[in-house]
A = this chain, B = another copy of it.
Amino acid sequence: MNVALLGFGTVGQAVARLILGSSAPLTLTHICNRQVARKRVEWVPSSVAWTERFEDLLGPDVDLIVEVIGGLDPAGRYHRAAIAAKKSVVTANKQLIAHEGGEILRLAAQQGVHFGFEAAVAGGIPVIRAIREGLAGDSLKRISGILNGTCNYMLTRMEAERISFDDVLADAQAKGFAEADPTDDLDGYDARAKLCVLARIGLHVALRPDDVPCRSIRPLKDVDFIYARRLGYTIRQVSHVECHADGNGRAVDAAVEPALVKSGSVLSRVRGSENLVLTVGERGGETGFFGRGAGGDPTAVAVLSDVLTIARHSSPPGWFEVADDRPATVESRRAFPHYLRLVVRDKPGIIAALANALARHELNIDAVLQEGGWPKESLPFVVTLEPARRDLVDRAIDEIAPLDFHVERPVCLPIVD
C-alpha cells in the first residue's frame, strides 16, 4: 500500500521512520510540508517525493494519506479532497474530528474509503478501536478520564513538590511539555476536543465542542493541593460525558475541569503526561485504558496501527453505529460535592456572610477548613459543600464573589469519585 505523509513535524517524522522501518507491505511515496527545502532529511530514501503541493498526493500512486498537520483549515479541505479522490485517510487531528467528524466520516463511508483516527485521542492508547469495536457489544453510558498530558504533568508536579503554578508552567515550557501558548491545554480546549470524539464513537452523541463547559486549571494554587490532601484528595483535570437517564441520547452532562479526585483512586494514580480513559457500559461495567497520551512516538504508533489495519482490509467496515448529527444538549444535572477555596482579608463575619449567601441558594456547607500559618491579609481557607448541581453552585459564587473581603475570586472544584 502506498502511503503519502502530510506534515513533517515531530509526529510526521516519527511516522515516516516507522513506515520506513516496517516489515509490512507499505511504501512511503510522498512527504508534503511547507518550506520543504528546510525539512529534507538524509534518512528518507530518494524514492520518496518531497512536495509543498497537497494536490501531488491525489495521484493514482497514493492509496492512503496520513494527515498530521492538525487544525481545522486547511486540514479539513485536504481531508475532503483526499476522500473525494478515493484515498483512505489516517489522522491525528482531534479538532477536526471534534468539529467536523460527522460530515467527514459520512463522506468517507459514502466514498468507500477507510478513515482512521486512533491517534486523535490519548496518543498511544488504542482507545478509539477499543470503544468503537471492542466495546461495540455493550451500550456505554459514561466516558471520563484524563485526556491532557500537559495539565496532568503540571498538576502532578504541583502535587509532589510545593511549587507555584507559574513556576511549574515555565518549567514545563522549558522542557517542551507545554507550548509557548498553553491556552489549549490549560483552559481545557484540547481535552474537550478529545472528549467530543469519544462521545461521538462511544455514546453516539454529537457534541458541539463550544457547548461543553471548560474550566481552566490556571486559578489553582499550591494551597489547593495542601487543602485537597487534608481532605484525602488530589487535583486532576477531569473530562467527562454522560447520557442523561431520560435523555434518549439527546442530552448529556459534560465538562472539562480541574476536580478533586480521591487519593489512591485510578484518576489520582495517573502521573506525569499519562492519559486515562474510563468507560462505563450497561453490561460490561467499568473498563479502563491508560498509557502515554502524547509525544511523537506514541502518536506515531497509533498512526501506524491505523495504517496497518487499513492495509489488512480490502474494504472499510460496512457500517458503524453513527451519532445523530443534531448536536446533543449539554446540561449539568449531576450533583457533586464541591470544594470552594477563598482567599480573604480576614475580619469578623466572613463565615456568616458566606453561610447566609449559600443558604439562600439552598447549598449546605459540609465542612470549613483553615490551615494555620497564613497572613491575615491574604488568608486561604476552604468550604466544602454537600452535593449540588454545578449551575446552582455557580449562581451562589456569583453572589459571593463581589463581597469586599475577597483578595481574589473564589475557586470552585467538583469532588468526584
Chain A residues at the B interface, C-beta cutoff of 8 Å = 18, 23-24, 118, 123-130, 133-138, 264, 266, 269, 281, 283-292, 297-298, 300-309, 311-315, 317-321
Contact = CB atoms under 8 A, between A and B. Distances in A.
Contacts of A287: 124-126, 289-292
Contact of A300 (B125, B137, B264, B269): B137
A52 B125 CA distance: 43
A133 B317 CA distance: 14
A133 B126 contact: yes
A126 B132 CA distance: 10
A135 to B, nearest CB: 6
A2 to B, nearest CB: 16
B317 A315 contact: no
B288 A284 contact: no
Contacts of A126: 129-130, 133-135, 287
A286 B125 CA distance: 9
Contact of A283 (B288, B297, B313): B297
Contacts of A288: 288-291
A105 B15 CA distance: 30
B284 A298 contact: yes
Contact of A130 (B129, B311, B318, B321): B129
Nearest to A291: B287
Contacts of A23: 321
Given A269-B266, A318-B314, A136 B304 contact: yes
Contacts of A125: 287
Contact of A308 (B24, B133, B309): B133
Given A285-B124, A291-B286, A313-B313, A305 B135 contact: yes
B264 A284 contact: no
A281 B126 CA distance: 13
19 contacts: A18-B137, A124-B135, A124-B281, A124-B283, A124-B284, A124-B287, A126-B129, A134-B302, A136-B308, A136-B309, A137-B304, A281-B301, A284-B292, A287-B292, A288-B289, A312-B319, A312-B320, A314-B318, A315-B315
A277 to B, nearest CB: 10
Contacts of A301: 135, 137-138, 281, 283-284
Contacts of A313: 313, 315, 317-318
B129 A303 contact: no
A300 to B, nearest CB: 7
Residue from A18, A135, A287 whose CB has the most chain B CB atoms within 10 Å: A287
Contacts of A18: 137, 283
A285 B291 contact: yes
A284 B136 CA distance: 25
B303 A137 contact: yes
